[in-house]
C-alpha cells in the first residue's frame, strides 16, 4: 500500500477505466492529490522544464498508487465476469476503430501518392495481437 486504501474506492463501471470514489476519505485523497500538484507546480517557479519534471513525478506516483488500489480491489465472481465481458467488448470496439483508421490513412495517403500509416496505431494493433496470443497460449498450458 502506498497511501490510499482500496476500501475508499470502487471499480469504475461506467465512463471508462479507473476508480470511483466510494467514501469521503477517497474524495479527500483525490482533493489532496490535486492540491499537491498545484502547490508543486507553484513551487517549481517559472521554468517550464521544472514544471514538467514535477508533474511527471507527481503523475508517476499517482499512477503507482491508483494501480496498487485497483489491484487490491475485491470483486466477487459476478463482477469479475462482468468486467471481463466489458473489457472484451471495449477491446473489440477499439480494434475495429483502429483498423478502420489504418484503412482510411492508407487510402488517403495513397491518393496523395505516398504511403503512410501512423506507427502508433499499427503498434497498438500489433501489441494487441501479441498480448492475445500470449494470453491464449498461457491459458491453454494451465488447463
Q: Are 131 and 87 in contact (CB under 8 A)?
A: no
Residue 23, domain extent = 6-74
Nearest partner of 10 among 73, 85, 65, judged by Cα: 73
Q: Choose one of 74, 106, 126: the last residue of a domain.
A: 74
Instruction: Say how many domains are in the chain.
Output: 2
Q: What is the pLDDT along the chain (143 residues), one digit of tens a residue?
A: 578 888 888 887 777 777 888 999 999 999 999 999 999 999 888 888 999 999 999 999 999 998 888 888 887 888 888 888 888 888 999 999 999 999 999 999 999 999 888 999 999 999 989 998 998 899 899 87
Residue 110 shares a structural domain with residue 136: yes
pTM (2 d.p.): 0.62
C-alpha cell of residue 117: 500509416
Element (H, E) at 9: strand 9-11
Residue 49 shares a structural domain with residue 82: no
Residue 99 within any structural domain of the chain: yes
Residue 1 within any structural domain of the chain: no
Q: Choose one of 74, 104, 124: the last residue of a domain.
A: 74
What is the DSSP code (8-state) at residue 6?
G
Amino acid at each position: 500500500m502506498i497511501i490510499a486504501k482500496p476500501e475508499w474506492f470502487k471499480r469504475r463501471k461506467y465512463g471508462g477505466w479507473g476508480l470511483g470514489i466510494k467514501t469521503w476519505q477517497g474524495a479527500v485523497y483525490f482533493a489532496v492529490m490535486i492540491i499537491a500538484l498545484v502547490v508543486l507546480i507553484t513551487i517549481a517557479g517559472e521554468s517550464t522544464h521544472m514544471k514538467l519534471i514535477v508533474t511527471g513525478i507527481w503523475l508517476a506516483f499517482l499512477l503507482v498508487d491508483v494501480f496498487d488500489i485497483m489491484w487490491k480491489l475485491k470483486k466477487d465472481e459476478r463482477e469479475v465476469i462482468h468486467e471481463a465481458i466489458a473489457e472484451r467488448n471495449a477491446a473489440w470496439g477499439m480494434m475495429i476503430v483502429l483498423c478502420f483508421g489504418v484503412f482510411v490513412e492508407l487510402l488517403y495517403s495513397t491518393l496523395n501518392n505516398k504511403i503512410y500509416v501512423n506507427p502508433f496505431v499499427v503498434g497498438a494493433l500489433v501489441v494487441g495481437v501479441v498480448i492475445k496470443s500470449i494470453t491464449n497460449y498461457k491459458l491453454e498450458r494451465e488447463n
